[in-house]
Amino acid sequence: LSESQPRELADRVEINDLLIDYCRYIDRAELGSLVALFTENCVVEYGPGAGFSSRGRAVLERDLQRVWRFRRTAHHLSNIQIHFKGMDHASVVSSVMAWHESPDRSTALLYGRYDDDIIRTRAGWRISRRKLTNVGGDPVFDEIFYPGERAPAPAGWSWRPPNP
């Protein structure tokens, strides 16, 4: 066990709280607080379309005004894995269940994956790069977010229930 473990464990708590703050602020539509979780020159990629790839806090804050197309949202984070790359940098993967309610109260769900670079700044840990991929969810999101990766079935595979 390394001498640096106590620090690493404190860092894990801070990074966990940072990722959760993102969920809370987006659901509360507090965009100023939300973008303060990112570095000034962050790169945030949700998808290929205009407004879904934002460079810098100011642009991100403008682009995220799209949250108000929804009546409400709920972002639930899980599957958080933190890999440290030296003292001041972590590569983090997590899963988000993002529920979206439109003004007419129809809903759409996204099961997404965040790939983040998170760095230690003087003000604490901040997200410097985030990329979202669409692991699953309603078809309305097919074209909006980057698709996830999944291995294809082997050639010739077909489903056959095994013998009892």
Find out whether 100 and 112 touch, Cβ atoms under 8 Å.
no
To a second copy, the closest distance from the beta carbon of 158 in angstroms equals 9
Q: ∠124-126-130 over CA atoms, to 5°?
A: 165
To a second copy, the closest distance from the beta carbon of 73 in angstroms equals 7
Q: Which residues pair with 44 in a beta bridge?
A: 54, 130
Report residue 92: phi and psi, to 5°.
-130, 135
- One residue of 86, 139, 155, 156 binding a second copy per CB under 8 A: 139
78 binds a second copy (CB under 8 A): yes
Total residues in contact with a second copy, by rule CB under 8 A: 61
Q: CA-to-CA distance for 68 and 62, rounded, in angstroms?
A: 12
Q: Which stretch binds a second copy (CB under 8 A): 38-46, 114-122, 124-132, 145-153?
A: 145-153
- One residue of 40, 55, 58, 65 binding a second copy per CB under 8 A: 65
Which 13-52 residues touch a second copy, going by CB under 8 A? 13, 16-17, 20-21, 23-24, 27-31, 49-51
3-state secondary structure of 22: helix
To a second copy, the closest distance from the beta carbon of 55 in angstroms equals 13
Which residue type sits at 28? R
- Considering just the CA atoms, what is the radius of gyration of the chain in Å? 18
